[in-house]
Structure 1
Amino acid sequence: MNTSSFEAFRLQALIEGYDEALEREWAPLTLLDMHTHPFAAKAIVVRGEMWLTVGDLTRQLRPGDTFELEADVPHAERYGTEGATYWVARRTG
């Protein structure tokens, strides 16, 4: 996926069949307990750091790292001391 700019990321996501692309910014030390989303997601971290937990696996993600989640997959998120920003493409259905 093209990550040279948000607009390039968004256009590539639409070409790949995603419904939308968003820039999500998270405040420092935000913690989101286990939850799900009704959409699939493909994202790249562009600022800060976060930890993503799926099942028994927790990944630390920094700028340039990517992650994907299918719809309805339980996961938890924790954001670092500087918060984090990621670009995410979403697809429903």
Structure 2
Amino acid sequence: MTLPDFTTFRADALARGFQEVLERRWEPGQVVAEHTHPFEAAALVVQGEMWLTVGGSTEHLRPGGRFNLAAGTPHAEVYGPEGAIYWVARR
């Protein structure tokens, strides 16, 4: 699987109406308890792995995995033994 570069990901997100695009880096084994955000998020995992739990369902995401969260959606995150990097667009 060939991933886009950050410039392409950012340009696509901005064209779809997202206002902010950034790279997030997470430490190995990091656990983020259930929380919400006041923005919609669309993300692409580019390194490492994570487990995203939404509504009692957990998805295992590796490079190339994408997730979308509506604003205000409760979710929790757990990062793998190498941590993870994902690019995220917000609006």
Both proteins in one fold, TM over 0.5: yes
RMSD: 0.6
Normalised by the size of structure 2, how large is the TM-score?
Answer: 0.96
Q: Structure 2: which amino acid aligns with 1:14? A: L
- Report matched runs for 1:11-90 at 5 Å: 11-90=11-90
Question: What are the superposed Cα offsets for residues 34-88 of structure 1, whole Å, 9 maximum, x if unpaired?
Answer: 0000000000100000000001100000000100000000000000000000000
Task: Look up the match of 1:6.
Answer: 6
Q: Structure 2: which amino acid aligns with 1:32? A: V
Percent identity between matched residues is 58
Which runs of structure 1 show a deviation greater than 3 angstroms over 4 or more consecutive aligned residues?
A: none
Gaps in structure 1 of 5+ consecutive residues: none
Taking the aligned partners of 1:28 and 1:81, their CA distance within structure 2 comes to 5
Q: Structure 2: which amino acid aligns with 1:36? A: T
